[in-house]
Each structure stands twice: as C-alpha cells, then as structure tokens.
Structure 1
C-alpha cells in the first residue's frame, strides 16, 4: 500500500509542478509577444498559446490544490457536527464530487476525441489542432478524479480524508 500512496502523492506533486511550468510558459509567451512588438514584428498565435497554457495550468493544478487544502470546503459546518455526521457528510461530499468529475472526464474525453477525429483547428492565426490543448483538460480531470477517489476511499476506510490543512482556514477561527 505504501507504493500506491507514494505514487499518488508523486502524481499530485508532478501535476502541480506542471501547472507551475505552464504559468512560466504564459509569462514567456507574454514576454515574447512584447519583444516582437518592440522590434516591429508580430508573434502570431501568442494570445491563443497563452490561453491554452492557462487552461492547462488550471486543470493540472486542481488535484494538487485539492490535496493541499486550497479548495473551498464548508469546514465550519463539518467541524460543528458530531463525528458520525461529519463522516456521513464527508462520504456524501466526496461521493458527489467523484461522480461529477467522472461525468466531466467522460464527456471531455469524447469532446477531445471528436475534435481529433474532425481535425478541428483554432480559428485564430495559429491554426493549432484543438485536440492538443483540450487533451490536457482531460489529463487534469483524470488526475482530479483519482484524487477524489483517493480521498473517498480514505474516508471510507480510515474515517478521515487526506486533504491538507489550509492556513487561511485556520486563521479564521476554526
């Protein structure tokens, strides 16, 4: 079981690192576009590439943010109820979240598949195949689904989730 735990934690961390690299990529796109304007040239597709990187950063960061305790939770309610009710609420929340993200991933996969099948390209100057940036959405969604399943199994088996403690929540008097 230790190998699985280590692998999942590694997956969440790598996903967060890739999201951070996407943010650096956005910075580089903006700087490259600025330099191109200063020398009287254009960088076609830079805004689109920055947008693709922003979507990739968002979806790749979801699982890492979830496990770091950065997602919004109704902790004040969960801390005010007895342990048995808290467990039921945790199972319900993680169960619903797992179902919703599984639904999203299923349809996002088919969305990407049909974009690839019909060879859809961006309407902008870059004319990039859209399935490439869209597939990062599916990858991030799958990692988030794994994180929700991981936490649901943890609540069911151990009685508690694996979410980290957010310092901001602690500062509000929880």
Structure 2
C-alpha cells in the first residue's frame, strides 16, 4: 500500500476498497433504501455494459477485416506493415471490453458446487466469492492504469512496424490533460504517422478492467439488496 498515493486527502486504497465495502454493508443492512437509491445507477451501468459489449463486437469485426486485408495484400503482392500488431491490438480490445458485458450476462464460467449445498450458505458464499472477485479485479484495474502511466513516462513505443497518426494520439491525450493544455497539444500535433506509443493499445486494458471491477461491485450490491445474484447463466458443476 506504500505506493497508493492520496486522492482528495485520503489514500487511494480507501476509495477503491473501503468505500465500496461500506456501500456493500449498507446494501446488506438497509436493502430497501439502498435499492431506491441505487436503482438509477444500476440502469445506467446496464447501458454502459451493453455499450462496452458493442465496442468489443466492433473490435472483433476489425480483427476479421484486418485478416481479410492481410490475405488480399498477400495475394496481390503488396505489403501491409503492422497488420499483425493491429490485429493483436484489436484482439486485446475485444477481450477487455467484453469482460464486464460477459460477466453480467453470465458468460463467464461459474463453478457452483458449494453454492448448491443449501439456500442459506448459497447466499453468503456467493456474496463472499463476489467480494473476493471485486477486490482482485480492483487491484488489477489499479495496476493496469499504473502500467498505462508508466508507458507514458517511459515514452514506450512499439517494437513492430505499426504506425499511428499523430492526431489520434493527440485526441486521446486530451483526456489525460487539463482543458487549458488542449490548445498546446493540438499546436504540437503534426500530420504524419509515428510509431505507436504503447499506452494507446493499453487503454482498452485499463478501461476493460475498470468496467470489470465496477461490474463486480455492482453485482455484489445487487446480490445483497435482492438476496440473489444478478448474474444469470449456465453454471458448470
């Protein structure tokens, strides 16, 4: 916990773990009140998960198009520099953006041997498993973001042949800078292509893991309020 910098006067781990755990406790104790407060949030998050699933589907389609483009370029004797790297980036984006959507739709494997012992232990074991998963996913998300930051600090670039237009890099850089710096960012933006900075294809990893952590805390609150899990799907015994 030594490298968890404070945020708004409190250590980051308090925001990431203590406050969500307190919210979960509130949902367990005051279920009806929590349901009334969180219902709009749940509806909003459901839309976010669907949107993430749409993005994952888009990148899956991009994988297909890139493979077809590779085939055409090979047949025509042309070169497609960086095609393998672009396909890899699209595959990673597909995987990470789909995490939360797959979770809430029951597409992840859930082993329910112990959950099926009886109804009383089912609830508590399900809550415990979801809590542990949420904590692990939150750790993963935190260090995924830290990986992004380190890539920016080190100016880490691709080792392949893939290039990225400078305007695209500037566009995503805007979200990590204050609006007062946006003018400077675009003033320094050229019209050429540069080797892909590693932080750019790492963004889906950070976003996807954040959404997964949110989805797990979300699933925990719904479980504690409603008395049953909101994750519906076939379980592998």
Q: Give me the TM-score of the superposition, normalised by structure 1.
A: 0.91
Offset of residue 61 of structure 1:
0.6
Greater C-alpha radius of gyration: 2
Question: What residue number does 2:141 align with?
Answer: 105
The answer to whether the Cα contact below 8 Å between 2:85 and 2:160 also exists between their aligned partners in 1 is yes
Q: For residues 132-169 of structure 1, give each alpha carbon's deviation from its aligned partner in whole angstroms, at most 9, with x where no partner exists.
A: 11011010001111110011111222211111233xx4
Q: Give me the TM-score of the superposition, normalised by structure 2.
A: 0.68
Question: What residue number does 2:226 align with?
Answer: 158
Corresponding residue to 2:86 among 19, 26, 49: 49
1:52-67 superposed matches below 5 A = 52-67=89-104
Question: What residue number does 2:43 align with?
Answer: 6
The number of residues matched between the two structures is 168
1:1-174 superposed matches below 5 A = 1-79=38-116, 81-126=117-162, 127-166=195-234, 169=235
Mapped partners of 2:101, 2:141: distance in 1: 17
Question: What residue number does 2:187 align with?
Answer: none
Mapped partners of 2:121, 2:213: distance in 1: 24
**Which 10-residue stretch deviates more, 31-40 or 85-94?**
31-40
Mapped partners of 1:95, 1:6: distance in 2: 21
What do you get for the CA RMSD once the two structures are aligned?
A: 1.5
Secondary structure (helix, strand or coil) at the match of 1:71 reads coil
Structure 1: stretches of 5+ with no match in the other structure: none
Question: Which stretches of structure 1, 4 residues or more, deviate above 2 A after TM superposition?
Answer: none
Mapped partners of 2:129, 2:113: distance in 1: 15
| Greater share of residues in helix | 1
The answer to whether the Cα contact below 8 Å between 2:93 and 2:204 also exists between their aligned partners in 1 is yes
Mapped partners of 1:33, 1:66: distance in 2: 33
Q: For residues 3-34 of structure 1, give each alpha carbon's deviation from its aligned partner in whole angstroms, at most 9, with x where no partner exists.
A: 22221111111111111111100011111111
| Greater share of residues in strand | 2
Mapped partners of 1:130, 1:8: distance in 2: 29
Offset of residue 43 of structure 1:
0.5
Q: For residues 54-96 of structure 1, give each alpha carbon's deviation from its aligned partner in whole angstroms, at most 9, with x where no partner exists.
A: 01100111111111111111124312x2222111111110011
